[in-house]
Amino acid sequence: MARVKRGTISHKRRKNVLAKAKGFRWGRKSKYRLAKDALRHAGEYAYRDRKTKKRIFRQDWQRTLSGALESQDLNYSRFISLLKKNNISLDRKILAQLVKDYPQTFQQLVEKIK
């Protein structure tokens, strides 16, 4: 039976890990053990921050709405409750876009629900 040399898979794995770690600083871009650990942490942070990004965007939309409603003598929570009572189902992202891009339309919407 022929001898089986097992280096190719290991080398391929190491090469892929080091390719993914390209651009990391210090030894984490060139040393396999450090690169593997850095990639594990990077993956955890990426997963966590994809969730955090959604939270931050929603907060920004709420702040935009709150700022626009100050001049209308309304606060954010009252505005959202009035929208729900009037069965207007626009999400916060669309409402924030109305405030930024179409202030006249947003003004009409506020007058309608008051």
Model confidence pLDDT, tens digit, residues 1-23: 888 888 899 999 999 999 999 99
Domain boundaries, position 89: 27-113
Query: Does 79 reside within a domain?
Result: yes
Cα dihedral: 75, 114, 65, 81 (round 10): 70
76 is a domain residue: yes
Residue 19 lies in a domain: no
Domain assignment present for residue 42? The answer is yes
28-53: per-residue pLDDT in tens? 999 999 999 999 999 999 999 999 99
- Evaluate whether residue 15 is within a structural domain: no
Q: Are 61 and 95 in contact (CB under 8 A)?
A: yes
How many domains is the chain built from? 1
Domain for residue 6, yes or no? no
pTM over 0.85: no
